[in-house]
Structure 1
Amino acid sequence: MVDKAIERCLALSLAARTQQGEALAATLAELDAALAEVQARSVPDNVPAAPPEAVLTLDLAGYVTSWNAAAETLFGYTATEVLGQNILFLHADDDEDDHIADLFMAEGDNKTVVAEVRRRRKNGDVVWVKLAMMLLKDESGDPVGMHASMTQVHEPLSEVDKISLHARIIEDSDQGVLITDASERIVSINSAFTRITGYTPSESLGRTPDLLRSGVHDAEFRAKVRAAMSGAGPWRGEIVGRRKNGELFPQSVTISAVRDEDGNISHTFSLFSDISVHKDAEARMQRMANYDTLTGLPNQCLLSQLMGQALTEARRSHEHGALLSVEIGRLGAISDTLGHDVGNEVLQAVGKQFRGVLREADVLARLDGNRFAIALLHIEKREHAAIVAQKLAASVAAPIELAQHTLQVRVHTGIAVYPEDGTDTATLIRHADVATSKAVHGEVEFLFYSEEMNQRAKEHLRIESELRQALVNKELQLYYQPKVSLRSGRIVGAEALLRWKHPVRGMVSPGVFIPVAEETGLILELGNWVLEEACRQVRAWQDDNLIMTPIAVNLSARQFDARLPERMADVMRRHGVLPEQLMLEITESLLVGGADNVISIMNELVAMGLALALDDFGTGYSSLAYLKKFPISTLKIDRSFVIGLPYEENDCAIARAIVTMAQQLRQEIVAEGVETAEQMSFLRELGCDQLQGYLFSPPVPADDFAQMLREGKRLAFSSR
């Protein structure tokens, strides 16, 4: 029909102007009718028409002055019945509409006030309507009346409908809902509970919420949750729950109690959501913020956080630490020549190499470009940072093997020590970078920010280097310090002591080179050399028909491992030495590493016939409760307790206690560092068995000790 009308319009446009008027009007009317028909067909039949708006006017006293047909339909009153009446006849009995007048005052004369109110129909029904009111004014702007329009709104839900609606909302909610009774038995769950936890109603109803308990929360946390269930007030927080399949998952929870009319708790409800996705996203964001995307290492932000905590702790405990700034040399040339992808692979490989030589507690971070940082959060000595720098350089000394390339890099390390070089992270990084820059220009592996530390580190490295050469060049030798019986005055043994005769500096004190050997791992080589040399010497004396007393050999904690008995058996077999010709001396610090492991190794050694002595007793941290479990045959009183005898009251008390305890444990007692006759007399009266010290003899070369044995040298007192 529309198409025909359009065709006619087009035809008429070509006709004579004299026939246009009437015919055109008729055609346009026909077109309007056709369009109206099309529009009517396009509107669905089930779409309700908008409700009519009831409109009325009032005078300033509230009397009705006009009333339209929609108002008649809404309320059931005709205009004749309403005109002249006060509008109050529509109000419900319990309505108070004073607030509408207040709204007029608040909004001003030119505003429309809208409110939802209750109104009564002619048949007595009360309905809710949306009321819009505004003032009517004359030409002078003075109020002359009020204009009101009303449309019906839905009534509030009945209690039955409300309960039904709430039940549907709970069941369809994405949040898990768990309701327990006063006995904490589950009485209701929703479908989301099953979806999140895996427990069906048949598996959960009648049980307690403990079926979701993960066991990761402490007693204090559980007490807060139980307080909420006991009516202390709602609790909101995050809990780790356990699904039916055993998987742990984080959840956001609200727990609250429900009370009956008498105020007693009748039920408890929990609303919870699975926030695993949010936690994963949070973890990803945290990783992006704190970790380098290329190497996976901490970035400068996380490094600063960890350093800040360490610096706070260091100030409190007066400990030392260091920050190393490491620059990777030749990386720019590699990237320019082979591409940035290859350069990135080199950085990743270097990061792995560095991580492999560091302690677990050390923090390895990538700062930017070709720079790494290492935070040594706790070091015993400042010089130890130089050892770490050497290890870093050694870790990349060999060429790096990539898929298609074999590449060589160098590292230059700058070291800042705290608290001397700075007490905040930014300062330490800046000072370490300064030292790195100097190391690069000086073509050296590492430099300290402090010149004094550079000198100390150089001395440390010199001793290490020369000590390695001393092993090769046979500059080491054993001296022997006799142990003398306090009963007979005769030599009953000796302790083998390591000495280093430097070709230029002469005899080097063990106090200088032994700590370096411990720190660098050289102590293992030195310890093995001492065992070999002591056994060789014992065999040589035996071949010379010298009546040999037991020789004590000191063992480092690093030597004391599960293979020690095997190594001892091998060295004694090769040199033909009997177990009773040796004694092994260990220190208390060895016992701190784990008593059970140490005891098993000790028992193996004793089963082989070797005697064990505990050296420097009283200076370490071993528990006396453990001491009775160790198969120790000899206790050695440390020289620090002997030096004050017999005049220092505390030293006397300690020496007396050690002797008494050893006697109860049936152990021999040896006093070290005895230098005076007064010390000897006091120890002899206590019941000490042996002494070792300069009063009788300092440590002497093997030939001198053999001569003492041949001559039968004795202490200058008569045996009792």
Structure 2
Amino acid sequence: MRDMLERCLALSRQARKESGTALAATLAELDALLAATRSGIADANTEPTADAELELDLAGYLTGWSAGAQRMFGYAPEEALGQHVLFLYAENDDDGNIAELFFEPSADNSGATGDARTEVRRRKKDGELIWVKLRLLLRHDEAGDPVGMLVELNMADAALSASDKINLHARIIEDSDQGVLITDAHERIVSINSSFTRITGYTPEESIGKTPDLLRSGVHDAEFRAKVRSAMQGEGPWRGEIIGKRKNGELFPQSVTISVVRDEQGKISHTFSLFSDISVHKDAEARMQRMANYDSLTGLPNLCLLNQLVGQALTETKRSQEHGALLVIDITRIGAISDTLGHEVGNGLLCEIGRLFRLSLREADVLARLDGHKFAVALLHIEKREHAAIVAQKLLTALAAPIVIGTHSLQVGGHIGITVYTEDGTDVSTLIRYADVAMNKAAQNIESAFLFYSEEMNQRAKEHLRIESELRRALSNNELMLYYQPKVSLRSGRIVGAEALLRWRHPVRGLVSPGVFIPVAEETGLILDLGSWVLEEACRQVREWKDANLIMPPIAVNLSARQFDSQLPKRIAAVLERHGVQPDQINLEITESLLVRGTDNVIAIMNELVAMGMALALDDFGTGYSSLAYLKKFPISTLKIDRSFVIGLPYEENDCAIARAIVTMAQQLRQEIVAEGVETAEQMSFLRELGCDQLQGYLFSQPIPAADFAGMLREGKRLAFGNR
């Protein structure tokens, strides 16, 4: 082709020098060459020369490798020939389809097949991946049988032509999953894509020529619409979320981008909007928000949402100087019901309790579920703290009647702690913590099932924590000891027994009163460890006295209701055996709170203890809620008149009547009577005349260490009876 062009140029120069016939001949030759040149250029445009050529046998192995192939791929002929064409493939292109072998070319009139083209990716020697245009020609032998293939390769063009780019962009817009809306300078719709119709329901015939107002939902205010219109007037792109309206009237959320197109003079010629229906995303977001902020069982707000709502109310309260309240409600018996009837019944009960609570509250009040059987109520605005008490009573009333779940009629109760903001606290976590403190105190309060928090209560809670921590250390640091208070016969005046009383000698504060640490031990469960220690120490001391040949009367040990379980007889028997102490040397004192639990199991445990040879005494009789029926059911051998009934003797008429009734009843039941807290001779004389059997109190002796008690026995100390 180049030689032909050079020949044309030479003839043109020659024609400028010649004239006449010679000139005509030269021009005729030039025309012929130009025609041939134009034909060659056309052929070249139709079939461009290949950048590289490969020859393959029918199995795909290389039999020919051009210089262009070496330049394109970097392999010398000796490196390429004999290899399978797959060595030019990218690693992840090995999908079982070898383009050079399975491409279907068409046949031409020459007996060769060709004109089969595709664009493929191939790998160079240095690892670089390139895109090439592949053309396959099938070679035949003289008999017409295929013998191999000629593969022509050209580098693929990176850039698109202007027309290809326009066509590509048009296809992208039409096939986009986003809706496309194009308006002219007069805000008339001039073009939409198929996704616009799919999302909105409007066809091109129904949209073209209209304005975008056909999608307006009417839910946005004037300020919002002004921002959108500013973007349409060229004040910069706008991105945001809009509520649109479909053809069927349904409102839907959409994510929108609005931009403008300007002409050569800079004037706005068109505005285009790209939008997506985000209903699915909004639904998913709403579900996630619900999971994060609401209890999955009851559907009530959870702690996270309660924090948000009360936090907002606190901010408003600080500004308005108003008040609010937070109530924490602990539902009793949920665990026992779930264990007995199954978690499905327990869950149904919690849902029903949530419903009942909701009916008892105002719409503005917030009801939340905190955890397993604990709810919270936020009264965001109250005028007086007493109003919170009214709500608490309503909630407790809602729990008063049996709750029907399926075939079960279930009875539950509740304890409520109340905090008032900003009086008790100024942040949500503090209010909840203080309400918890008040709720726990309410659980121990017989008179009321709800309590308000106060700073005094908080200080007591902190003190309880300190005592608990130090009491645990006391158990391991040998700070505990037993004192013994003698029991004296009102007939002989002799010592007939003693009560082992726990004492705590604190390394800093000295002797700590049992009235301080025993309630903490009961509340925290430490009473189990203390009770075990007392029994162990009492038996050890009795054994020590026995080894010292000291005849010791029975020693009474107090039992907590928490210790009273089916394994109690076995535990006591093990301690007695370990120290070689007989059962009749240890008496057990219980309180009326245990009798209130008077189930068959408790009676069975008591009978087992008595069968072992142990005696049971009922301590502080008359201060609890026991009835005379208990004394008939339980194998009690001794009643102890509480000191609160002794202190007024013999001058308080009511105390005298109560003491007389207890003594008379015990005599009828053949039970021994021990009067506690006897401090005066007048008290002693009155009780002796009533027929009381024993006394215990400061009149004879206060609680004393083990050595002093042993000395008292050795000396034979007796109670002196005098005249009234």
Q: TM-score range by the shorter chain?
A: 0.3 to 0.5
Question: Normalized against structure 2, the TM-score is what?
Answer: 0.44
Max Rg structure: 2
Question: Normalized against structure 1, the TM-score is what?
Answer: 0.44
